[in-house]
Structure 1
Amino acid sequence: MRISELEGKRVAIWGYGREGRAALAALRWRLPSQPVTVFCSPEEAEPLREMQDPALRIEIAVDADALCEHEVVIKSPGISPYASPAADAALRGVRFVGGSGLWFAEPVAGKRVAVTGTKGKSTTTALIAHLLRAAGQRTALAGNIGLPLLELLDVQPPPDVWAIELSSYQTGEASAVDVAVVLNLFPEHLDWHGNEARYYADKLLLVTKGAPRVAVFNAADPVLAELEVPPTTRVAWFNLADGWHLREGSVYRGERAVLDARSLPLPGRHNRLNLCAALAAIEALGVDAVKLAPAALSFRPLPHRLQTLGTRNGVEAVNDSIATTPHASIAALDCFRGRRVAILVGGYDRGLDWGVFVERIAAEPVAAVITMGQNGPRVYEKLRTLALGDRMVLAEAGEMEEAVKLGLQALGTDGVLLLSPGAPSFPRYLDYVARGRHFAKAAGFDPDQISAIPGLGVS
């Protein structure tokens, strides 16, 4: 649905976070007198009232009846369409659309590369933008990475390429994509999607529904290996011997060694595979990726993703607040093999199985595991059954300050204090950024110095 099609309709915006603000700004830019209802929290209502917009209606309470007063509801990504009241309103004829869906429906110039995956999608998207800019291509970096697409509506001159990160909440809204990248699939966001099968299906709508010209897939992912793609879509594999892959510490294109991966500013094998995915995507655009690969050496890692904050009293503090699955926490531990690590885990409990994390700790105990958050007690009990005794400190914490204190006590004057929660940040925090900032402050570092994402927007 294009923005122009909303004119004269009964329209609402549900949620007034950054996506909701971008949607309202886009409507006011294109349809300045269009009546709009905004469903929001009491805190969000105040700045809306200050606008003194006579065509704006503000509602704090939302239910199916209130939604059904509207023909179209522009929904924030975090609101699940599978739960009430959205599901009830949809059955009664309300059409839901996201801000990303509105943007994709517009006739926007430039090639589109869309990236999704359970882990690594932000870093991969940012790498694609960084490398294309090194090739002199005017490139937009936007989407779930921190800049809603609607904030870049009517950019002039238009970018040559759009590098777009999409979450599983947004993948079904993508269309006219030139290259779609799917990095990996692990269970996540089951509270939003309802179950693992639907999460995978929704994630893969980027390909199955979006029908991109090229789909870049991880050859090691069993779900992707079995996926039936549209007949018009060509598949390009990475993490495969005849494509972009890792071998003996280097990035290879087929049999050609291209780059020493050990010199990259990206810790961990998973991050180097993200580079392989980015190079495969660039190659799918028709750009010489082998020539561009060395530009990855100047890439600035993104905040809250295995971000080194600094070292105090012999302990290195690392902020991996974006880690929202147990698999992500395991990948973080892989980066620090051979070092003493105190890992802080736990957050919102969405019912994920922590068995893989427990198995990893059983095989390779760390200096300490400190649990916290809503699912902290459940993770603690699973780890307690290992009976590791003096081999590992296991402790529970109430707040971040206590978790940091316990981790530092376990390490003494040597090791890595690692925040890699393996769980979402809410409801304790607004988002993973707020959680990472709290960790930085508790560990003695300036939170204002850690949160800016380099390269957002068009350049």
Structure 2
Amino acid sequence: MPSEFTGKHVTVAGLGVSGVPAAKVLHGLGARVTVVNDGDDERSRAQAAQLEALGVTVRLGDGTASDSGSAAGLPEGTELIVTAPGWKPTHPLFTAAEQAGVPVWGDVELAWRLRGLDGRKPAPWLAVTGTNGKTTTVQMLASILKAAGLRTAAVGNIGISLLDAVTGEEEYDVLAVELSSYQLHWAPSLRAHSATVLNLAPDHLDWHGSMEAYAADKGRIYEGNRVACVYNVADKATEDLVRAADVEEGCRAVGFTLGTPGPSQLGVVEGLLVDRAFVEDRHKNAQELAEVSDVNPPAPHNIANALAAAGLARAFGVSAAAVRDGLRAFTPDAHRIAHVADVDGVSYVDDSKATNTHATEASLAAYESIVWIAGGLAKGATFDELVAGAAKRLRGAVLIGADRALIREALARHAPEVPVVDLDRTDTGAMLQAVQEARRLARPGDTVLLAPACASMDMFTNYNQRGDAFAQAVRELGA
């Protein structure tokens, strides 16, 4: 059946996990697709061969679409660009597109526009973004929706791709959608049923250009919301984004807080998660949703994630019992405040996913007495505020990685009494020595916490490998 894409010249910018599905879907809709990709490695060549077998044109290492400073040009006849989220807005390809009046969409924008193309009723989107906690919150939300008996999936920046979700054979009642700031930048017409910005802290500023631009892209998630804009009471910037959003008439601002909730908020009262937003007479009444102990793990920032997920689910009409059952059924991914083992009365916790100071601040706040393993690639971050806030909780610190000196200097300024072990090595074997040194510093009742506040690529392939190395080192302690 002909579509609006039949015969249209579409350039897909980038291969990878979003570019390849976009190229396949567009080709299947009858578009004339050209893929341009800056890289020309073995993986790219394999993906290119797969697409070329379908009849898609692929240009690897395309100098006209590079950041090299050479003259940029659109493939001839381009009427639309669909880009992978990682391509910067300043890329010469997009400059050329702007000059030529060619629109640029991301894969999320494409997925949004393809909803219902096959005649099925499109599933509403419950959308989640934020600097930290997105994946956990979306997975919690999907678990709650499933507990309510709804056909759903966690999609977007995790799980199956949005394009697969909206064009595949499986039908959904509602989708739990994780969206990054990159994806939101390229999704101008997205209009979610309800959405949340969990928190805001400086991140990806090299891509966005400024904190203001980063926040503005996060705030796009609230545009056109129909039922609820869920925000973090403790992070005023998220409420400011709600105030700035152009939403549908009747859409409500709903806060979540770790304290006692006011009207139109979800919060915590005497060990219970409670709802004062989606109840009759919210000025007088509250609905118990779950116990704090139903949240796994019950660290403060994870309770906040659970409240945000509950807020979106309740906006969709889900019962309190389903919120409780969904939270109880949820199991967090590896390397997110994952308890590895107890050895000689000391708890060892892997939060390798804490790759920036904002995530690490939340992780450190979850424990009373900590031997902190930290360090890696700082990505331009500073650590004074983080260390000053956590100083009273630190029994000791073990530092690894290329930029460990930045953390060591912050510790010297704000926690001079805390013993520090500085491991002058960046090989993967350093993790075993780090865990051994942490064991030496720890006392029964302490937590040895891997929360690096840094990226991992100076020593490891990714944060998963770093967390696995920590867990293996801990297992060797108990052997």
**TM-score for the superposition, normalised by structure 2:** 0.82
Equivalent residues of 1:16, 1:44 under 8 A apart: no
Higher relative contact order by CA 8 Å / sep ≥ 6: 1 or 2? 1
How far did residue 260 of structure 1 move?
2.2
Equivalent residues of 1:346, 1:379 under 8 A apart: no
Equivalent residues of 2:408, 2:420 under 8 A apart: no
Cα deviations by residue, 1:52-111 (Å, 9 ceiling, x for unpaired):
524322312444445522443322212221x33345334433432211110011134222
Query: Which residue does the alignment assign to 1:334?
Result: 365
How far did residue 398 of structure 1 move?
1.5
2:244 is paired with a residue whose SS is: coil
Paired with 1:214 and 1:183, the residues of 2 have a C-alpha distance of 14
1:262 is paired with a residue whose SS is: helix
Alignment of 1:84-123 (within 5 A): 84-93=91-100, 94-108=102-116, 109-123=122-136
- Go from structure 1 to structure 2 and tell me whether the alpha carbon gap of 1:435 and 1:30 turns closer, same or farther (over 3 Å shift): farther
Paired with 2:238 and 2:211, the residues of 1 have a C-alpha distance of 15
- Go from structure 1 to structure 2 and tell me whether the alpha carbon gap of 1:41 and 1:376 turns closer, same or farther (over 3 Å shift): farther
Paired with 1:431 and 1:84, the residues of 2 have a C-alpha distance of 26
- Go from structure 1 to structure 2 and tell me whether the alpha carbon gap of 1:146 and 1:431 turns closer, same or farther (over 3 Å shift): farther
Equivalent residues of 1:144, 1:167 under 8 A apart: yes
Query: Which residue does the alignment assign to 2:61?
Result: 60
- Go from structure 1 to structure 2 and tell me whether the alpha carbon gap of 1:178 and 1:386 turns closer, same or farther (over 3 Å shift): closer
Query: Which residue does the alignment assign to 2:218?
Result: 203
Query: Which residue does the alignment assign to 1:372?
Result: 401
1:382 paired to 2:410: yes
Query: Which residue does the alignment assign to 1:251?
Result: 273
Query: Which residue does the alignment assign to 1:78?
Result: 86
- Go from structure 1 to structure 2 and tell me whether the alpha carbon gap of 1:96 and 1:437 turns closer, same or farther (over 3 Å shift): farther
How far did residue 288 of structure 1 move?
1.8
Equivalent residues of 1:371, 1:380 under 8 A apart: no
Equivalent residues of 1:171, 1:203 under 8 A apart: yes
Paired with 2:273 and 2:92, the residues of 1 have a C-alpha distance of 48
How far did residue 391 of structure 1 move?
3.8
Paired with 2:72 and 2:472, the residues of 1 have a C-alpha distance of 42
Q: Whose radius of gyration is greater, 1 or 2?
A: 2
Equivalent residues of 1:342, 1:407 under 8 A apart: no
Query: Which residue does the alignment assign to 1:47?
Result: 46
Equivalent residues of 1:36, 1:55 under 8 A apart: yes
Query: Which residue does the alignment assign to 1:449?
Result: none
Query: Which residue does the alignment assign to 1:228?
Result: 244
Bigger CA drift: 427-436 or 39-48?
A: 427-436
RMSD, matched Cα:
2.9
How far did residue 160 of structure 1 move?
0.4
Query: Which residue does the alignment assign to 2:154?
Result: 141
Query: Which residue does the alignment assign to 1:345?
Result: 375
Query: Which residue does the alignment assign to 1:452?
Result: none
1:14 paired to 2:13: yes
- Go from structure 1 to structure 2 and tell me whether the alpha carbon gap of 1:15 and 1:57 turns closer, same or farther (over 3 Å shift): closer
Equivalent residues of 1:344, 1:403 under 8 A apart: no
The one-letter code matched in structure 1 to 2:327 is A
Paired with 2:396 and 2:307, the residues of 1 have a C-alpha distance of 32
How far did residue 132 of structure 1 move?
1.0
Query: Which residue does the alignment assign to 1:278?
Result: 309
Paired with 1:266 and 1:390, the residues of 2 have a C-alpha distance of 27
- Go from structure 1 to structure 2 and tell me whether the alpha carbon gap of 1:312 and 1:25 turns closer, same or farther (over 3 Å shift): farther
1:204 is paired with a residue whose SS is: helix
1:216 is paired with a residue whose SS is: strand
Paired with 1:348 and 1:11, the residues of 2 have a C-alpha distance of 38
Cα deviations by residue, 1:228-277 (Å, 9 ceiling, x for unpaired):
33252321222233331023332122445443213432231111111111
- Go from structure 1 to structure 2 and tell me whether the alpha carbon gap of 1:182 and 1:15 turns closer, same or farther (over 3 Å shift): same
Q: Specify every segment of 5 or more residues in structure 2 that has no aligned partner in the other structure, as ranges.
A: 66-70, 117-121, 277-285
Quick one: percent identity of the two aligned structures?
Answer: 30
Q: Specify every segment of 5 or more residues in structure 1 that has no aligned partner in the other structure, as ranges.
A: 446-459
Query: Which residue does the alignment assign to 1:360?
Result: 389
Number of matched residues?
437
The one-letter code matched in structure 1 to 2:7 is G
Equivalent residues of 1:282, 1:289 under 8 A apart: no
Paired with 1:319 and 1:71, the residues of 2 have a C-alpha distance of 48
Paired with 2:452 and 2:418, the residues of 1 have a C-alpha distance of 23
1:261 paired to 2:279: no
The one-letter code matched in structure 1 to 2:274 is Y
Paired with 1:274 and 1:368, the residues of 2 have a C-alpha distance of 28
The one-letter code matched in structure 2 to 1:323 is A
Cα deviations by residue, 1:273-317 (Å, 9 ceiling, x for unpaired):
111111111111122235532431121112221123445676654
Paired with 1:293 and 1:367, the residues of 2 have a C-alpha distance of 37
How far did residue 123 of structure 1 move?
1.1
Equivalent residues of 1:128, 1:282 under 8 A apart: yes
- Go from structure 1 to structure 2 and tell me whether the alpha carbon gap of 1:293 and 1:361 turns closer, same or farther (over 3 Å shift): closer
The one-letter code matched in structure 2 to 1:366 is R
Query: Which residue does the alignment assign to 2:281?
Result: none
1:238 to 247, 251, 256: 256
- Go from structure 1 to structure 2 and tell me whether the alpha carbon gap of 1:9 and 1:23 turns closer, same or farther (over 3 Å shift): same
2:169 is paired with a residue whose SS is: coil
Paired with 2:422 and 2:431, the residues of 1 have a C-alpha distance of 11
How far did residue 348 of structure 1 move?
4.7
- Go from structure 1 to structure 2 and tell me whether the alpha carbon gap of 1:395 and 1:131 turns closer, same or farther (over 3 Å shift): same
How far did residue 426 of structure 1 move?
4.8
